[in-house]
Chain A
Amino acid sequence: MAAIQETREHVASLGERYKYGFITDIEMERAPRGLNEDVVRLISAKKGEPEWMLEWRLGAFRRWREMREPNWARVHYPKIDYDKAYYYAAPKSSAKFANLDEVDPKLLETYEKLGIPLHEQKLLAGVAVDAVFDSVSVATTFKAKLAESGVIFCPISEAIRDHGDLVRKYMGTVVPVTDNFFATLNSAVFSDGSFVYVPKGVRCPMELSTYFRINASETGQFERTLIIADEGAYVSYLEGCTAPKRDENQLHAAVVELVALDRAEIKYSTVQNWYPGDEEGRGGIYNFVTKRGDCRGRASKISWTQVETGSAITWKYPSCILRGDDSVGEFYSIAITNHFQQADTGTKMHHLGRNTRSRIISKGISAGRAQNTYRGLVSVHPRATGARNHTQCDSLLIGKECGAHTVPYIESRNPSAQIEHEATTSKIADDQLFYCLSRGIGQEEAVALIVNGFCREVLQQLPMEFAVEAQKLVGISLEGSVG
């Protein structure tokens, strides 16, 4: 129909499908290209790190050189030349700020454009933000207010200097230095990220949020986040990510470690919107991320919620080690792939303690020529009497050239375990679409509406402040997927 075509062209001509694709023109300081011990030493020196941290990094680097990139995921990409990339980039002016007035206005402007104002009075009520720009944290808000209740929320580089004992006690205990190729690389060259410590019995008074921005070209981002909830503590944390539109592929290899002690609860939400590449599959972020939570204490709980709409390649399996008896792990995921995006994502639930419970709800949406794989493991160890898991994997296909794949692994070594797995695959039905159109709802909006309905159980898990933004993102990332 000619008129539909016209409407669509009009929508397309509104341009900027990926509205975060701008580049901030700012003077950068970088480590030399490539990776060797000198670069690792330089990063450590730039951060003013103690000797133990440098040794930790060097140990990781030596190990990494012996490791091979994994190739079991259902993603295809040209070989990454690790010697061509930059491993450290920072705005020149960013030495260390006593307050926000000293921050380069260009940086503040960047975050304003992203909808993340860093001036506290303009902030979303009740959300503290740590802003990470390439390899450094540029600002952390509400630090003083959080400190009143004993909560530490700061860049990890600062935590290494000021809270060394805490960092040393927990870092690498959930994701060991030798865990996997990308995690080991991260351990050697990680630049910045967030550190959170919530003391015993404290319910963190506000949402904590980190906003990651890749800006520099040919530069990898390797952030590292460590969150510790002490006995009976509660914290809700959200990360958001964007990157400029560039024709090259950029590597992002993060590590996130969560530790929940007795009766503690951590809720970790991600809205991942790295640049996905263009309609032809040029450019985009390679997102190879290791995220793991350890329910170390009795009756502790870790809940992962992720909305994955960006990146050319997503390789990520936020997992829970249910070590403490009666602990609970949850994984709620929406993964949307359009055009040439590839996602291989899921979770691992390791039931070690008695009466541990886990719940997995995964919604995969595939459009264009994208490939979307759910890969998950539920493993029940011999001691985990009374363990229970429920898994639900739903896939939605839009168009004829995309693919959805579900690869669930289940290992049970305790006869009392109850494990349930449900999976569905469906398409947006023509009659659903036509019903919406006949009510005056246009193609793009109709698809967004139907897909948001499909994802509803997961969207409901997001903190209120971000649920609306996530819903919009779901619509935007599927633009141009019908017809």
Chain B
Amino acid sequence: MNMLEIENLHVVVQGQEILKGLSLVIRTGEVHAIMGPNGSGKSTLSYTLAGREGYEITEGRILYRGENLALQTPEERAARGMFLAFQYPVEIPGVTTMNFLKTALNAQRRARGAKELDAMSVLKSVREAAGALNVSEEMLRRALNVGFSGGEKKRLEILQMALFKPVLAILDETDSGLDIDALKLVADGVNALRTPDRGILVITHYQRLLDYIVPDRVHVLDKGRIVAEGGKELAHELEAKGYAGLARDAA
């Protein structure tokens, strides 16, 4: 079954067309990687999928679990199992990380008609996820992302993913700013969610992360269009030739 179907997607941001006819299908159980140079439209794709205001679909469509994504608010998408790990996680002063996680988890549950969890149950789930990712209790007591290092912010994104157990996880340059140990932790976290009922979309600039999260398909994005597609070996080819080299071959 197709989890995500993107057909001829055109997206305009601040009057400028960034995505120019992108098509992509992710079937349930698959891991896809999108690679591309800076400015190719990678982040635009992730924000469009998550429903950020100002990312206007002018042509084409996105079906998520068979339904038109454009008709759903960002919070509805989250409640229906979509999760975006941000490239630049946002700071919210005065809101403890723990409180944020509890609020988000219960908002999603409420939207799905499930019972809200009490503080103790949330704490238990968070601790389970936190242990594997080396996220300390002290971090959970601090205000969300305030004063966190780059690596801490990224680990917290993956902790949220582990906690919310999304159906489709989109990782936007989660590897940027991570050292090799943190990268392995993050990859383990993602691989743990790799089950036949989920889909994962990894957006990255470098091939390095794909050594640890091995994709089923690789797509190369350039100037708002997919310019090359293939198996996991495409990532290595790209690493050897560079984006410019690949673009020449494609032409």
Contact = CB atoms under 8 A, between A and B. Distances in A.
B160 interface: yes
Contacts of B90: 429, 431-432, 434-435
A454 interface: yes
A437 B94 contact: no
A142 B189 CA distance: 56
A7 B95 contact: no
A4 interface: yes
B51 A438 contact: yes
Contacts of A450: 92, 95
A2 interface: yes
Contacts of B91: 432
B152 interface: no
Contacts of B93: 453-454
A3 B95 contact: no
Interface string B50-73: 111100000000000000000111
A188 to B, nearest CB: 44
A434 B47 CA distance: 10
Contacts of B89: 435
A1 interface: yes
Contact of B92 (A432, A445, A457): A432
Given A430-B53, A431-B90, A438-B51, A445 B107 contact: yes
Contacts of B53: 1, 430, 434
B178 interface: no
Contact of A438 (B72, B74, B100): B74
A438 B157 CA distance: 12
Contacts of A453: 92-95, 143
Residues of A contacting B: mostly: helix
A434 B74 contact: yes
Given A431-B90, A445-B103, A453-B143, A440 B95 contact: no
A104 B95 CA distance: 44
B204 interface: no
A434 B52 contact: yes
Contacts of B108: 439-440
Contacts of B84: 438
Contacts of B50: 434, 438
A228 B67 CA distance: 66
Interface in A427-478: 429-432, 434-443, 445, 449-450, 452-457
Contacts of B77: 438
Contact of B73 (A1, A429, A432): A1
A236 B117 CA distance: 34
A443 B76 CA distance: 11
A2 B71 CA distance: 7
Interface residues of B, number: 32
B51 A437 contact: yes
A308 to B, nearest CB: 18
Interface in B89-120: 89-95, 99-100, 103-104, 107-108, 111
Nearest to A429: B90
A437 B52 CA distance: 9
A440 B135 CA distance: 22
Contacts of B78: 437-440
A3 B92 contact: no
A407 B2 CA distance: 60
Contacts, number: 86
A435 B89 CA distance: 8
A439 B76 CA distance: 9
B86 A435 contact: yes
A452 B103 CA distance: 13
Given A438-B84, A440-B79, A441-B103, A456 B94 contact: yes
Contacts of B99: 449
B159 to A, nearest CB: 12
A473 B112 CA distance: 26
Contacts of B73: 1, 3-4, 7, 437
A457 B75 CA distance: 29
Nearest to B91: A432
Nearest to A457: B94
A457 B143 CA distance: 12
A422 to B, nearest CB: 14
B80 to A, nearest CB: 9
Contact of A439 (B71, B72, B94, B160): B160
A429 B51 CA distance: 16
B94 A452 contact: yes
Contacts of A443: 75
Contact of B75 (A429, A432, A441, A449): A441
A442 B76 CA distance: 9
Contacts of A431: 90
A156 to B, nearest CB: 38
B107 A441 contact: yes
Interface in A1-16: 1-4, 7
B12 to A, nearest CB: 16
A395 B107 CA distance: 28
Q: Most chain-A Cβ atoms within 10 A of its Cβ — which of B78, B94, B95?
A: B94
B71 A3 contact: yes
B75 A442 contact: yes
A453 B160 CA distance: 20
A437 B75 contact: yes
The 6 closest A-B pairs by CB, nearest first: A453-B94, A440-B78, A453-B95, A456-B94, A440-B108, A437-B74
Given A438-B52, A439-B75, A452-B95, 6 more contacts: A3-B76, A434-B50, A434-B74, A438-B50, A439-B108, A455-B94
20 contacts: A3-B76, A7-B73, A434-B50, A434-B90, A437-B51, A438-B74, A438-B75, A439-B75, A439-B100, A439-B104, A439-B164, A440-B75, A440-B104, A440-B111, A441-B75, A441-B104, A449-B99, A449-B103, A452-B94, A453-B143
